[in-house]
Amino acid sequence: MTDCRNIEADLSALVDGELTVGRRTEVEAHLAGCALCRARVVALRELAAGLAVMPKAQPAPEFLAGVRQRMLEGKGPRVERPEKSVWHSPWVLWPVRLAAATAVFVGVAVLLTPAYKALLRATGHATIAKAQPPAESAPALQLAEKQAEAKTADRIQPAGQPAAAPAAPVAANKRAEPAPPPIASIAAANSAAMDADRAVPAPAEMAEARRAVVPLERAKAAPVVSQLNRDVSGAIIVESADADRVRTNATQLAVALGGRLVSAADERSDRFQVAIPAQNVETFRRRLLRPEMEKDRGALGFTDGLATNEPVSVLEIRVVAPAK
């Protein structure tokens, strides 16, 4: 039995022709005996008819052009994100966010704890920036020289032969790096640094080592030769307050060219000789004169004291004190 109170939606659907055949039969049976519902249906049909004839709005002629324009200008709705992956699911997203936030919080908390600060103080990394030794201090210089030697060794390593594991230089390098190491490696790095400290020679030994290994490039930082001339005997006259450094550099250059230190009156003599194979004299000269040596020559104070065409096989180098 169809009740008037429950038939409202069906009457509307009847007007729209949306009822199933069975339901339509039932509703029409009800309407046959219910004047009130028949009146409702009439009203609904009038309403639907009135809505159907409402004036239709027409778009402007330039509608399509407007669509194109909006596309060009990037207006209009954005492209929606396609199928969301499982990573965008709240069941995954929120736990991940929570874990990330917790990690950040714990990290900050650990950094602020007195125990961590004490650990940094104990390992010397709390003030690592301030603890950096001056550039010219002996340990730093030695470490830099060791690194330079290691690089040189790397360069001369034959192709195909594996380079030696740089265990000691790595440990020493950590001491010279500005960034503190990870917490887990603080103890190991500190131990290695302490070992490196014990390996630092005494100042006197250090000075000797510096003289032994200092390349020509090192002299750029501190020019020691102010002038170079040649006297009537053909000797190279070098004005320098540091005879040892001049001797070292000149000797190294001679050795590099297959020559050697010939003579020196004694270790403290200001005059010494470098023997250069005759065929290398020109090379020696060119090396002193070539453009890439210009800075070195300038730093050493060398000037073109050698006659271009003079076949000198033995060069006497005399170091004199700079004129005051």
Residues that bind another protein (CB under 8 A): 8-9, 11-13, 16, 18, 43-44, 46-48, 50-61, 63-64, 66-67, 70-71, 75-80, 82
Looking at the Cβ atoms of 76 and 134, the one nearer to another protein is 76
Residues 6+ apart with CB under 8 A from 83: none
Alpha helix locations (H) across 242-289?
243-256, 278-289
Distance CA 253, CA 216 (A): 9
**Strand intervals (E) in the chain:** 225-230, 236-240, 260-264, 271-275, 314-320
CB 305 within 8 A of CB 236: yes
Task: Determine the angle formed by the axes of helices 8-16 and 35-52, rounding to 10 degrees.
Answer: 50
Distance CA 141, CA 159 (A): 30
Distance CA 224, CA 241 (A): 6
Residues 6+ apart with CB under 8 A from 216: 249, 252, 253, 296, 300
Looking at the Cβ atoms of 59 and 311, the one nearer to another protein is 59
Looking at the Cβ atoms of 17 and 160, the one nearer to another protein is 17
Sign for the pseudo-dihedral over CA of 39, 45, 47, 50: negative
- Give me the phi and psi of 45, to 5 degrees please: -65, -40
Sign for the pseudo-dihedral over CA of 240, 244, 248, 250: positive
Tell me how far, at minimum, the Cβ of 29 lies from another protein, in Å.
19
Looking at the Cβ atoms of 2 and 252, the one nearer to another protein is 2
Tell me how far, at minimum, the Cβ of 132 lies from another protein, in Å.
57
Looking at the Cβ atoms of 52 and 165, the one nearer to another protein is 52
